[in-house]
Chains A and B, each alone.
Chain A
Amino acid sequence: MITVKNLHKSFGKTEILKGIDYHVEQGEKIVVVGPSGSGKSTFLRCMNLLETPTQGEIWFDGQLITDPKTNINKVREHMGMVFQNFNLFNNLTILDNITLAPTKLKLMNKEKAVETATNLLKRVNLLEKADAYPSQLSGGQRQRIAIVRSLAMNPKVMLFDEPTSALDPEMVGEVLDVMKELAADGMTMVVVTHEMGFAREVGSKALFIDEGIIMEENTPDEFFTNPQNPRLQDFLSKVL
């Protein structure tokens, strides 16, 4: 579904990604862990071209999206993204946050979009917040809305960039629960996270990125119980 070939990314003179090759199959749940500054978020953000790779190719659904001729807006309609800081639209109500993109991009008419949004809000138990503004919600509620906002677009894949890192500890669970449900429904997911428990439980593959390359890739069980790479061993000894 997503193929990354020889991905390099530099910011100025600093090379963050130093050649990453990876392939994500449909239905897989890839969890990406690594120390801060390792390039794991940049890797994720390159997948929907929020960061433009300096070198390398990204294929999505058989289409070379790093080709300058590709209409990236069309591609992004099929790739949901959830951010660490939620990034709900502050000027819009929760309902409008969810319906804005589907209606403005003419994927749904207003009624259909509201209906979709209502169903999704019910699913995360936040229907009563439909007319509230983001600033009136807790962090956990905002992040659940952010997930729902992406789902309203009916994406083929969901990218999560440390979705629980900005949350108070007691709110982490409610967000992870939504993500687990999503995983159980068969959604293809790439999740950059520090939640090792979640990674182990939900992931179908675990990646360890450090110094801009994939240092280890394995099934979550092997990854956590029997890490091979010394840097991963060191990392896990610190976080587990």
Chain B
Amino acid sequence: MNEWFADIAYKFQIAFIDGDRWKLYLKGLGVTLQISLFAAILGVAIGIVVALMKLSVKKNGKRSIWSVIAQAYIDIIRGTPSVLQLLIMWFIVMENSKNGILVAVLTFGINSGAYVSEIMRAGILAVDHGQMEAGRSLGLSKGQTMRFIILPQAVKNVLPPIGNEFIVLLKETAIVGYVSLSDLTRTASQVSSRTFEAFMPLVGAAIIYFIIIKILSKLIELLERRLRKGDHR
């Protein structure tokens, strides 16, 4: 029994303590969070714009050119693996950039935007059409009604799936090791290959992801509850 504890302690020691390796995990976590945060912001911004583009119609009620462009973007992003998108960005589109984090933020932001746009579109369509008619009947333009009436309600509608998307995004950044960024996952794998001991680094990283995501989902839940204050359903 004592031997077993000693073994665990030793593995813990070489995985986290020796050579101040815990600092590597922290740094890796920093990279993961940095990419996730900015990609999420970019993704939401792109998502709203693309959702509005996809919903736009011509005067005669037919699909606008914007809608066609939005659909093409969504199809391309959803139809290709994100690892490939990352590699294409790193080796082709931004081959002169030395800033791996920037490349990762752009890749994941553009990627997430496609999914967010479909979520947002569903949220906008879920708002009763009468809200738009009421806004228009008062003399507000379509854009004004969208901004002051429809979008605030749509955002509230889509918080749960958006939270989901943030979580997926955060975990998906684990592929940035492909372009030699040391995020949390890659750090864990590097440590394990250095120490020839896989259990502690990998499970440790998994636990860190788990805790971060638990905190994130709690925050989204709080926000959701706050925004629901207005309705007593």
Q: Which residues in A have some Cβ–Cβ distance to B below 8 Å?
A: 48, 50, 73-77, 79-81, 83, 85, 87-92, 100-101, 104-105, 133, 135-136, 146, 149-150, 153
> Which of chain A's residues have a CB closer than 8 A to the CB of B139?
73-77, 101, 105, 153
Q: Which residues of B contact A79 (CB under 8 A)?
A: 137
Q: Which single member of B136, B138, B230 contacts A153 (CB below 8 Å)?
A: B138
Q: Report the tally of A-B residue pairs with Cβ distances under 8 A.
A: 75
Decide if B152 is an interface residue (CB 8 Å cutoff).
yes
**A135-B232, A136-B232 given; A104·B133 CB < 8 A:** no
Residues of B within 8 A of A133 (CB): 230-232
B131 touches A149 (CB 8 A): no
**A76 CA to B233 CA in the complex, in Å?**
32
Q: A83-B130, A101-B140 are in contact. List 15 more A-B contacts (CB 8 A).
A: A50-B133, A73-B140, A74-B139, A76-B139, A81-B134, A83-B133, A83-B137, A87-B131, A88-B134, A89-B131, A89-B134, A101-B135, A101-B139, A135-B231, A153-B138
Q: Which residues of B contact A80 (CB under 8 A)?
A: 137
* Pairs of residues from A and B, 9 with the lowest C-beta to C-beta distance, nearest first: A77-B139, A87-B134, A87-B130, A81-B137, A101-B138, A76-B139, A133-B230, A91-B152, A135-B231
Q: A91, B153: Cβ atoms under 8 Å?
A: yes
Q: Which residues of A contact B134 (CB under 8 A)?
A: 81, 83, 87-89, 146
Q: What 0/1 pattern do residues 139 to 175 of B give for CB contact below 8 A with A?
A: 1110010001100110010000000000000000000
Task: For the complex, count residues of B whose C-beta is within 8 A of A.
Answer: 22
Please, how many angstroms separate the alpha-carbon atoms of A149 and B139 in the complex?
12
Instruction: Decide yes or no whether B3 CB sits under 8 A from chain A.
Output: no
Q: Chain B nearest CB: distance from A83 CB in Å? A: 6
Using Cβ atoms and an 8 Å threshold, which residues of chain A touch B232?
Answer: 133, 135-136
The answer to the question of B128 belonging to the interface, with a C-beta cut-off of 8 Å to chain A, is: yes
Chain B residue nearest in CB terms to A107: B139
Chain B residues with Cβ below 8 Å from A135 are: 230-233
**Contact of B133 with A73 in the complex, beta carbons under 8 Å:** no
Chain A minimum-CB-distance residue to B231: A135
**CA A91 to CA B229, docked complex, whole Å:** 10
List 25 A-B pairs, Cβ < 8 Å.
A48-B137, A50-B136, A73-B140, A76-B136, A80-B137, A81-B134, A89-B131, A89-B134, A89-B135, A90-B230, A90-B231, A91-B152, A100-B138, A100-B140, A100-B149, A101-B135, A101-B138, A101-B140, A105-B140, A133-B231, A133-B232, A135-B230, A135-B232, A136-B232, A149-B138
Binding site for A on B (CB under 8 A): 128, 130-131, 133-141, 144, 148-149, 152-153, 156, 230-233
Whether B133 lies near A91 (C-beta < 8 A) is no
CA distance A156 to B60 in the complex (A): 30
Chain A nearest CB, measured from B227 CB (Å) = 9
Within 8 Å CB of A136, what residues of B?
A: 232
Residues of A within 8 A of B231 (CB): 90, 133, 135
Smallest CB separation, B85 vs chain A (Å): 36
List the A side residues contacting B130 at CB < 8 Å. 83, 85, 87
Q: How far is the CA of A87 from the CA of B140 in the complex (A)?
A: 14
- A residues near B156, Cβ cutoff 8 Å: 91
Q: State whether B131 touches A76 (Cβ < 8 A).
A: no
Write the nearest CB–CB distance from B57 to chain A, whole angstroms. 13
Q: Determine the chain A residues whose CB is within 8 A of the CB of B233 once the complex forms.
A: 135
CB contacts (< 8 Å) of B152 on chain A: these are 91
Interface residue from A75, A90, A146 paired with B131 (Cβ < 8 Å): A90
Give the most central of A87, A92, A105: most B CB within 10 Å: A87
A99 CB to nearest B CB, Å: 11
Chain A nearest CB from B56 CB (Å) reads: 17
* Residues on the A chain within 8 Å of B138, using CB: 76-77, 100-101, 105, 149-150, 153
